[in-house]
Structure formats: structure tokens, C-alpha cells
Amino acid sequence: MLSQKLCQVVLHVGCRTLSYPGVLSASVGQVDTLGAPVVRVWSTLLMEVIHDWRDDESVAILQAVRRAAPAGAKLLVLESIVPEDPGPDRSKTLDIVMLTLLGGRQRTRQEYEEILAQSGFLLQREIDTHAGISILEAEAV
């Protein structure tokens, strides 16, 4: 499974993935954005989740993840990152689709860094997969 491989390769830990309707996937537990009790998680993977939501909603989701994550826990966010430079890019086209259909948006690395910081995470690095998607590794602070 992709999430298990990412935990092994990026975080150098083993993991199991729990996924339920209405609940975000987490490597060692579950995170409920509706305020239900949560278990402590040391690593969480969100793939193409945050781009579905406005900034305030994205921060709320990330804050829910942070409530379940002790200091030092890792968060992997897999998203298409909008480049800062002008010119055509697949992520910019996807941004228009997200804005018009769902109200969400694609973001630049700087924008992700800002919403992560508002949610109690520090962006540590961006891993470009060279497949139109990046892995943002953040740590709970």
C-alpha cells in the first residue's frame, strides 16, 4: 500500500493505515474533524485532501490532525504544488478546476507553509516526486 511504503521510505518507520468514511487516514490511529475523541498518532498521511478545501477549512482539518499528534509527530501532505514562476503548469489548471467545482485550491509551497504553521506544524522539506505531486513533510511543534 502506498501509505505504508511512504512511511518506510520517507519517515523510516513501519505503519498501518486506518481509513473510515468521514475520517482522515492516519498511520497509527484516526482523526475525526468533528471533534470526536482521537488517539495519539505519530505519523499522518493526507493525500490530495487539503486542496479540496478553502484556507480556513484546511486549517481546521490540519488542527484536528495536530490535536492527535504529539510534538515531534510527522505529517506527510501529498499535493500538486503551484510553482512560483509564471507560465503554464498542470497545477495551475487544476487550481481553476478546484476553485470552480469545489471551492478548494492548489497552493504554492509558501501557502502550504503558512497554513501548516497556523495549524501547529513546521514544514521541514518538500520532496518532488517528478510525477506532478510533491510530498510535504512537516513536524508537530
Tens digit of pLDDT at every position of the chain (141 positions) = 555 555 556 655 555 554 444 444 433 344 444 455 456 778 889 998 898 889 999 999 999 899 889 999 999 999 989 888 888 777 777 777 777 777 788 899 999 999 999 999 999 999 999 998 999 999 999
**Domain limits at 117?**
2-140
pTM of the predicted protein model: 0.74
* Number of structural domains in the chain: 1
Cβ proximity of 137 and 76 under 8 Å: yes
Which 8-state DSSP code applies to residue 7?
Answer: I
Which among 51, 66, 74, 105 is annotated as catalytic? 51
CATH number at residue 52: 3.40.50.150
Does the annotation mark 12 as catalytic? no
